[in-house]
Each structure stands twice: as structure tokens, then as C-alpha cells.
Structure 1
Amino acid sequence: MMPIPVIAVFDVGKTNKKLFLLDEDYNIVFEKSARFIETVDEDGDVCENLETLRSSVHDSLHEIYRMPQFDIRAINFSSYGASLVYVNEEGEPLAPLYNYLKAYPQQVKKQFYDTYGAPEQIAAETASPVLDSLNSGMQLYRIKYQKTDLFSQVKYALHLPQYLSSLVSGQAYSDITSIGCHTQLWDFVQNDYHSWVKEEHLRKKLAPIFPSNQALAMILNGKNCAVGIGLHDSSAALIPYLISFAEPFILLSTGTWCISLNPFNQQPLTAEELSSDCLSYMQYQGKPVKASRVFSGNEHEQQVKRISAWFGQSPAHYRTMPYQAEVIAALKEKYAPATTGTDSTGLITSGFAARDLAGFANDVEAYHQLILDLVDLQYSSTQLVLKGTQVKDIYVDGGFGKNEIFMNLLAQKFPDIQVWAASVAQATAVGTALAIHKSWNYKDLPNNLIQLKRYKALTHPVNI
């Protein structure tokens, strides 16, 4: 039996680290998943265990190359953004993989904006809300002024997807989807690195840019293999939709973050949008994608723990809870909409955390109210990128797309737009593979990547 030609995709999330093998029709023919125990940096702040991650990539490659049923034609990578790996001349890490939620020193922040202009101005030019360590360019700036010995040893500051790629290729590159994800590095007006990057002489610490839709020709395990340089995960998840749909749409990519991506909105970001955590991503072909986001997946996880502990239920109980319209109607009669709040990092939340669980008759009420509050927050966030465009469809990908309560309530919020639960088996991994399709796959692009289920206001879903 002839081995199946496949591409290996490493999809590294904050929580789950996954490896997929996809055949030429983009079917997943092998997968494995792992969770790693986090470690701490020199300040005692929790961070990714970079050594475990590095070992896992090498071990996984050895594993799949020993499988005779597969012919590894290509390898690519995707991961979360806002994370830099500082490497020396030999490509070895010099420091921990600092957490993007790490507190940012205020004196360094003041120095930056005193030198380069008002935060609002920099945010507008770089399409990046002021997010401190979530702006990875600010991480590099901090290293330069607070860790001078480390900075002097750094050959390149690589975003995480590109670091992962370098473990296989031995080559260091930068990628536009990573540079363009709220880093404050890229000037979206000038389509180049921002002037502050040049004035700080940081360009030499940033590896050359390589096209996201091309791959490096390598010999691995004695065979030809195309190795991609990696993509930011949100940009990768958008690719199957860009390939499949021509009419204007919004992709609501849900996970730890719930990100509304509108590739058909080219309007400059306003001060109001930036202050509401609106930003622009860069898609793999180098075009900006207006986006808004909320930290709802994280909030959902924390509040489900609170609800389950209060009512004595397992958190898993809520994964398949059915939508009950009569419960929602009663909650709307009983409670006013929540007042949004902020979490410990300053990110906006739905306000559910301030609700007294003792006021709910049971956990069904409490959970429905949580989703009701999260959908209210989601509506406000999605509206930021929807207005002024002719969007006809909203596709919900990821965890909340499987949540019947969330989907029914979202459809009610957008009665004039078609709301779909969009099922792409592992959209980020598929998008990461599709990005370098021409480098390894001789077949035409598939036209059946996405399965859809439409939700209508106050009605049942319809399978398409």
C-alpha cells in the first residue's frame, strides 16, 4: 500500500498543543494533543515551558516520520500571537517565553510614549490598541531598556510560530500575519515597520520577512519537504473562509478569545474602536483585516467553574446544555442587562462576575444568564467591525459555535444577518496547511471545507 501524502501542522494554543496530519483533500488522518505544565520566569510570573515545547516538536516529528503509512510532504506551524522568543546566533532561546499578560513597567511605557507620541496616535498608525505586553513590540522595547545584557545577546526576536518553524528549518524569518497582530511594530498606513522601530534600531533584531504563502525547500529524513514559516492562529483560521466564500462575511473565531474578523472592512480604525479593543490583523496575503475581540472564552471558563462549584455540578455538565427559550424570557423579565466590567488585566468582561448566584433558582438559570451576558458583550464587539459594510453572513467557528444557547441568542441579536455555526474540522490547522497549498499539494483547492448550520431568531437550527 502506497503511503498517504500529508502535511504536518503544529497548532500551538495557550492551552492545547496539537499535531495534525492532513491529506491532499485536507482531511485529518492523524492527530494528537497535549497539555504542558507551565513554568515561571525570573520574576515568578507564569509562562510557557519553552523547553518542553521545543522537545515536543522534535519528538513528534520523530514519531510521524516512523509511520510508514504517511509520506510527509510538508510541515507548517500556527500559534497564538504576542509572544516573542529571543534567540542567539545559534537559534537557541536566551530567555523564558514571557507571558503576554505579564505586567508592563509603567516607567518604560511612559518613556516610550514621551519619545514617540501619544498612545492614541501610535495605536491608530499601527492598528494596535494600547495593550502593554500584548503589544509584542513593547516587549522587545522593554527588553532593550530593562535587560540590556539579554538584549545584547539577541540575534533575533522571533514570534512563536516562526520560532517553531526555525526548530525544523534552522532558518529565522518573520511573517506578516505575526507582525500584523496588535504588535505596534507595523505601520498600516505606510505598509512598513513603524518609524519608532527604525529609530530604536530594532529592525536588525527582527528576522527578514518571508511570504506566508510560500515554503522553504528542505531535505528532511532523506526526503524533500516544504517547510512553512508559520502563521498567527487567528489569521490561519480565516483562510478556509477566504477560499470558500466571496460574499462579504464576518468570521467570529471563538476560543480563549472571541475575535470578530471582517476582511471586507478597510476603513481606518477610529479612536473609539481602538479604545474598545478593535484592531487590524494582517491576512496571509498581506491585506488588513479589521477585527474586534473580547476575552469571552476565558471568562466563560472562569464563570463556569464558579457556577458549577456553587450548584455542585461538574463543569462538563454545561458543554451540552440545551437552549431553553422560556428560561431566557424569564431572565430578561427578572434581570437588567449586565454592566460590563474589567478583569484583573484590564480586559473588558460581560459583568456576569458581579451577579449574585444566590439569586438564581438553579444552575440552568445561572448558565443561561452567563451566556446571555456574553452574547450582549459579543454583539457590541462585533458591531464595531460590522458597521459600514454589506455583510450578509456571520460564521461562528470554534467552541461557542457548538453552544446551542450562545448560537440561538446570537441569531436573535442579528435578525437581519444570517448566523451560521461553521464547522471546519480544526480551522486553524486547515488554514495553516492551505497557506502553502501550492508548495506540496498537486490537487485543486477543495470546495467542501466548511459545514454550516444556520440559526434563525426564535427558531431551530437548519442543517445546510
Structure 2
Amino acid sequence: MRLQCESRGNTPRRCAAGYLALDHEGIETWLVQAIRTLPSPRDIGRIIVVAHGAAAALVRDGRLFAEPMDYEQGLDDVPMSSYDTARDAFIDTGSPALPQGLNLGRQLHALEHWLGPLPDDVDILPWPQYWAWLFSGVASAELTSLGCHTDLWNPRERTFSALAGRRGWDRRMAPIRAAWDALGPVTPAFAERAGLSPECQVFCGLHDSNAALQAALGQPELRDQDATVLSTGTWFIAMHSPAAGHRSQPPALDAQRDSLFNVDIHGRPIASARFMGGREAELAAGIFCYRETASMAPDELLSRLAVVMDKGQLALPGFVPGVGPFPKGPGQWLNRPDSPVDLRVATDLYLALVTDCILDQIDGKGQLLVEGRFGANPVFMAALASLRPDQGLFRSSAELDVAWGALNMITPGLPAPAPLEAVPATDLDLPGLARRWRERAGYGKLSA
């Protein structure tokens, strides 16, 4: 199997309606060009889309009625009291109240405030399914996107939330399809633009973290076992999947600490917790700190971990307010390192300490797999292995786990792109440090 990666920067823009929108036009132009430059685009037989879960496009009469909102759009000018009062209880949706537009229901509420009531013939398409519609012309929705802290889905009842029903959003949602459902061939217009065969099939698609979960559960070391997957990037998202056939009581999650229930491709609730790890690293240390140390050997970085610990150079949470296990922050340093190397190492240690907290929140047992860019971070991985010595910790050396997880659903038996790599613990007393750090951070109380 050959996987190829193309990328572009994320550049949200202010749309005509005045809100911050995802640059769907720029992405579309880039995507068409990227497909055309592949060695044999007409040989592509299947397309499945993976995208984040906190956006939707509103489509009417074959064109966009409302552009997909960027979830970092501020909603301070939108009266939210009626929405907050009408939200279903966390026990029903598993969806915590999140800031800005991180709850899709909040985005829909804001759009109705700005644009007026939605017409009856509008189709609401989750972000992955917007692209499936653009390629195929077939409107659809899907469970992993609906169950991703949207306020719109009740995973235990496997139906829309009461809020979605009262607001009429349930009947405007596009028909629900399975992530692996073939919607049909690409449209003739898109086939011509992208140089694709008119017989290329488009599949419904899914939420990115769930694609990572599917990739992990397809690995021999984790298949049919109690397993936890940590996806890392801008967001660090931990998801615990019980062993196949194992029925246990889900953990009691704390909505105030950004733990929630996602929904897997079969509609089952999956205990999850998260924080903005990539963003926290940028704020705590700065992008340039990571750029300056990017060429350092892993052993060089690891050799500084004991020094940082001995000097008490620790970051306290949390640098991004309103999310994660420490939503009230305020994010600060104890003995902030002066050198870029030690600052980077101390920041990686901080990320491991917070990750340890979110894994505890979801009772994340069994084998632990880290995927995404921080899986290649030697200090973060060694510290995490030392904090959780009773779990087997693996890193994925494949850069495209999310893509493989999605492809494996529509091409069963697809070989894994690379074997997993076991990560050993250090001999440093990270558990002892974690206990002291949690006490200092006030982990036992929300005033942290």
C-alpha cells in the first residue's frame, strides 16, 4: 500500500455574513490541484473523507446557504441564555458546555440569531459529509460527527437530543448513513475538474479522532483488547475503547473538565477527554522554541529531563482557558527555564502530566497508543510511559494513521502501514512528581 501526504495551512476568513468561516473554497481549490498532480488520478477508485467534528455546512438547492463556521468564532454578541437553558443534561448527551463554537448546536443557534430561522428545506451537513456531498452530490450525516460534543445527539438512546428536536435541527439534518456507506460515484463535474474516473466511489466519511481509533483497533497489539488511543496535534484527545464483547459501566465523567462521550462508528458511547496540547505547547514555550530544538537527537533532549525535574522547572495548567482538565487556568511557570532546550523539555513534561490526568478521567486502561505528531516527541513519550508504568505504551511510526483507519473501513484487511513501536519508561520518579504537581495545580478542585 502506498500513502501520499499533501498539506496546506489553515486560513479561516471572515465570510459575507460576518462570522469567521472555514476556508472551504481555498481547501477545494488546493484539493483539486493535489488530486490532479497525483501520478494516476484516474486509478483512484474510492474516496472517504475525514475531518474534525465541530463544524457543519448548511446547503439549500444545491448550494451553500451558510458557510461552515470556524469553531474559534467568538459568540459574545449572541444571547445564549435560552440556548444554555434548553441544552440536554450531560448525562443524556455526554456533551459538555464548551466555549466559542465548539458545540455545533451553539453554532446553529448563532446562525439563526444572525440569519434568521432556518428554511425548512435546508440540509445540515457535518463537516466531513460536506465534502462527501461536494464530491458526490449526495447529502448525508454520520454518527461520529453527530456524537462529537455537538449537543445534538443522545448516544444512549441513539437518537437526536431533545434540544435538536425542539429547534427543528433534527429534521433538517441530512439522512444518517454509516461512515463506510458508499454514497455513489463522483459527479461528472468534479471528476472532470480533478481528473478522476467517473466511476470513482465516494463514501460517507467520519470524524478524525474516530478514524484514529479505528486505525489503532486494527493493529495486532490492540485488536479486540481493552485499549486507549491518544490522538495528538492541536488537540490531545484520549478515547478508551473496552475490549470486544466486554460490557462494563462507563466511567462517571466530569463535564467541567472537558471529558465527554464521543460516539464510535457503530454508535457506541466512547469515554473521551481532551485538552489543547499543541496550542498549550505554543503558549507555554513558543513555536520558535520547538523550531530551534527540532534537529536535536532524542538522547540529547532526554538527558535534560532529570535536570529540569531537579531544578523544579515546572509549568502549571492551563494556558488555554475554558477547555481541558484545568479550565480555569491560569497557566504559569515555576522557575521557567532560560534555555530553549530546557524550556522545550519542561513543556513536554507538562504535556505528559496533563495527559496523565485526562487518561485517569476516562479510566483509560489497557494498551495505550499515541498517534499524531507528539508520538515522535521523545521527552513527552518517555515521560508518559514513566507516569503510567502499568500500561503498555506504543507509538505509531506511521504519519497517516487517520487516513489508514478510514481506508481500512472500506477496504477490510488492508495491511497496517507500519508496525507499532513500544516505548520504555525511564528510571525517573515521574509518579512522585505527578502527585506533587497535581497537588500544586489543585487537581482535586475546580478552582485550579
Q: Same fold (TM over 0.5)?
A: yes
Output the amino acid matched with 1:292.
A
For residues 73 and 326 of structure 2, the distance between their equivalents in structure 1, rounded to whole angstroms, comes to: 19
Write the mapping of 1:406-425 to structure 2, written as runs, cut at 5 A.
Answer: 406-425=380-399
Alignment partner for residue 307 of structure 2, among 326, 330, 338?
A: 330
Q: Assess if the C-alpha contact under 8 Å between 1:307 and 1:366 holds in 2.
A: no
Amino acid aligned to 1:147 = L
Partner secondary structure for residue 95 of structure 2 = coil
Partner residue, 2:68:
97
Is 1:264–2:242 an aligned residue pair? yes
Choose from 42, 45, 50 the match for 1:73: 45
CA–CA distance in structure 2, aligned partners of residues 449 and 374 of structure 1:
27
**Which residue is equivalent to 1:354?**
332
Q: How does 1:61-460 map to 2 (within 5 A)?
A: 61-64=35-38, 67-68=39-40, 71-90=43-62, 92-105=63-76, 108-116=79-87, 122-132=89-99, 133-148=101-116, 151-152=118-119, 155-218=122-185, 223-244=198-219, 245-264=223-242, 267-268=249-250, 270=252, 273-305=254-286, 308=289, 315-318=291-294, 320=296, 322-323=298-299, 324=301, 327-335=304-312, 337-343=314-320, 354-355=332-333, 359-386=336-363, 391-437=365-411, 445-458=413-426
Query: Against the structure 1 CA distance between its residues 97 and 447, is the aligned structure 2 distance closer, same or farther, given a 3 Å change threshold?
Result: closer
Within 2, Cα distance between the matches of 1:288 and 1:115? 22
- Report the alpha carbon displacement of residue 384 of structure 1 after superposing the two structures with TM: 1.1
> What's the TM-score once normalised by structure 2's chain length?
0.82
CA-to-aligned-CA distance 1:83-133 (integer Å, 9 cap, x gap): 11111121x2233321112223486321023345xxxx5222111111142
- Equivalent residue of 1:77, what SS? strand
Deviation of 1:228 (Å)? 0.6
Alpha-carbon displacement from aligned partner over 1:45-79 (angstroms, at most 9, x marks no partner): 64421221233334444555xx5486111111111
- CA separation in 2, counterparts of 1:43 and 1:139? 13
CA contact (8 A) 2:316 2:333 kept: no
Relative to structure 2, which stretch is displaced further, 160-169 or 429-438?
429-438
Structure 1 residues 335 and 31: alpha-carbon distance in aligned structure 2, compared to 1, 3 A threshold: closer
Give, in whole Å, the separation in 1 of the partners of 2:292 and 2:340: 13
Q: Which amino acid in structure 2 is aligned with residue 224 of structure 1? A: E
Q: Answer 1 or 2: which has greater strand percent.
A: 1
Which of the numbers 45, 55, 66 marks the counterpart of 2:29?
55
Contact 1:411 1:455 in 2 (8 A): yes
How far off is 1:412 after superposition?
0.7
Q: For residues 267 and 69 of structure 2, what CA distance do their matches in structure 1 show?
A: 27
**Secondary structure of 1:134 counterpart:** coil
In structure 1, stretches of 5+ residues that fail to align are 1-24, 309-313, 439-444
Contact 1:126 1:184 in 2 (8 A): yes
Superposed, 1:3-82 pairs within 5 Å as: 25=1, 27-28=2-3, 30-35=4-9, 37-41=11-15, 46-64=20-38, 67-68=39-40, 71-82=43-54
1:139 is displaced (CA, Å) by: 1.3
Shift of 1:337: 4.9
Instruction: Quote how far apart the aligned CAs of 1:396 are.
Output: 0.9
Change (3 A) 1:31 1:362: closer
Decide whether the 8 Å contact of 1:415 with 1:457 is kept in 2.
yes
Superposition RMSD in Å: 2.9
Distance 2:108 2:262 in 1: 20
Structure 2 residues without counterparts, runs of 5 or longer: 429-448
Per the alignment, in what secondary structure is the counterpart of residue 224 of structure 1? coil
**Residues of 1 paired with 2:77 and 2:18: CA distance?**
19
Count residues with an aligned counterpart.
410
TM superposition shift of 1:449: 4.0
Aligned to 2:444: none
State the SS of the aligned residue for 2:43: strand
Q: Give the distance between the partners of 1:347 and 1:101, measured in 2 at CA.
A: 15
CA–CA distance in 1 between the matches of 2:56 and 2:132?
Answer: 13
Q: 1:162 to 1:81 in 2, by over 3 A?
A: same
TM-score, normalised by the number of residues in structure 1: 0.80
Q: State the SS of the aligned residue for 1:229.
A: strand
Query: How far, CA to CA, are the matches of 1:165 and 1:171 in structure 2?
Result: 7
1:385 Cα deviation after fit: 1.5
Identity of matched residues, %: 23
